[in-house]
Amino acid sequence: MSTLLELTPDELLSTTRCVRRRLDLERPVERELIEECLGLAQQAPVASYNENWHFVVVTDPDKRAALGDLWRKFGARYLGERPDPSVELPAGTTRLLDSVWFLMDHIGDVPVHVIPCIEGRTDGKPVPQQASRWGTIVPAAWSFMLAARTRGLGTCWTTFHLGHEEEAAELLGIPYGDVMQAALIPVAYAIGTDFRPARRKPLDEIVHWDGW
């Protein structure tokens, strides 16, 4: 078992941030560490009686580069032009865009890509079916990210490559007709371990007791 950061459960829950600029692109990540995190992910709730989730872990440099191309292709469509540094934007927007564009430039260099997958496509299916399928894979993937954080790794939930999900499936041999990909989680050692809670809305703007 690897050494864990000294974080209380509340610190872990409030400081597991999306890490982009602070991913250490030079340091390899041990396979055992990824396996420990995935073992913990498997303890998440599953909607059906059997486990229908899968995790494709990509370390092969050529495959990461190819996934990076797909990620970037959709990302560029979504983001539009790279921001002009002479145009002033609110500080938070500039920070977020800088961070996303950093990952646009380096996604293929991140040492590990983890793609959480779930059996059974729900395209066009009724909402209960969609909710139970996504509701199975999302908590497991988030548990993976929390476990990674306690081991000094940085992660970020990303979905850009899903704009080209079928091509990614072909690249990795994922049976596209039967299996949905939920995300692409870049994983690397985090540079430093101090992360702060995010600024969020006051609770009473989003919580509705006994009705909306």
Ligand X SMILES: Cc1cc2nc3c(=O)[nH]c(=O)nc-3n(C[C@H](O)[C@H](O)[C@H](O)COP(=O)(O)O)c2cc1C
Q: Give the nearest distance from C-beta 37 to ligand X in angstroms.
A: 18
Q: Give the nearest distance from C-beta 31 to ligand X in angstroms.
A: 25
Count of Cβ atoms closer than 10 Å to residue 78 Cβ: 11
* CB of 153 closer than 8 Å to CB of 32: no
Q: Give the nearest distance from C-beta 82 to ligand X in angstroms.
A: 14
Is the Cβ of residue 103 or residue 115 nearer to ligand X in the bound state?
103
Is the Cβ of residue 32 or residue 89 nearer to ligand X in the bound state?
89
Is the Cβ of residue 36 or residue 55 nearer to ligand X in the bound state?
55
Residues that bind ligand X (CB under 6 A): 17-18, 96, 100, 103, 156-160, 198
The DSSP H or E segment spanning 130 is helix 127-150
Count of Cβ atoms closer than 10 Å to residue 42 Cβ: 13
Is the Cβ of residue 36 or residue 133 nearer to ligand X in the bound state?
133
Residues 6+ apart with CB under 8 A from 51: 42
On the 0-12 / 13-18 / 19+ scale of CB atoms within 10 A, 31 is: exposed
Q: Give the nearest distance from C-beta 56 to ligand X in angstroms.
A: 17
Is the Cβ of residue 134 or residue 176 nearer to ligand X in the bound state?
134
SS3 177: coil
Residue that has been written with the tokens 């006994």 in this structure: 210
What amino acid is encoded at 51 in this protein? E
Residues 6+ apart with CB under 8 A from 120: 52, 133, 178, 179, 180
Closest CA to 165 of 115, 108, 113, 127: 115
Is the Cβ of residue 17 or residue 54 nearer to ligand X in the bound state?
17
Taking the CA atoms of the chain, what radius of gyration do you get in angstroms? 18
Q: Give the nearest distance from C-beta 207 to ligand X in angstroms.
A: 18
Q: Give the nearest distance from C-beta 100 to ligand X in angstroms.
A: 4
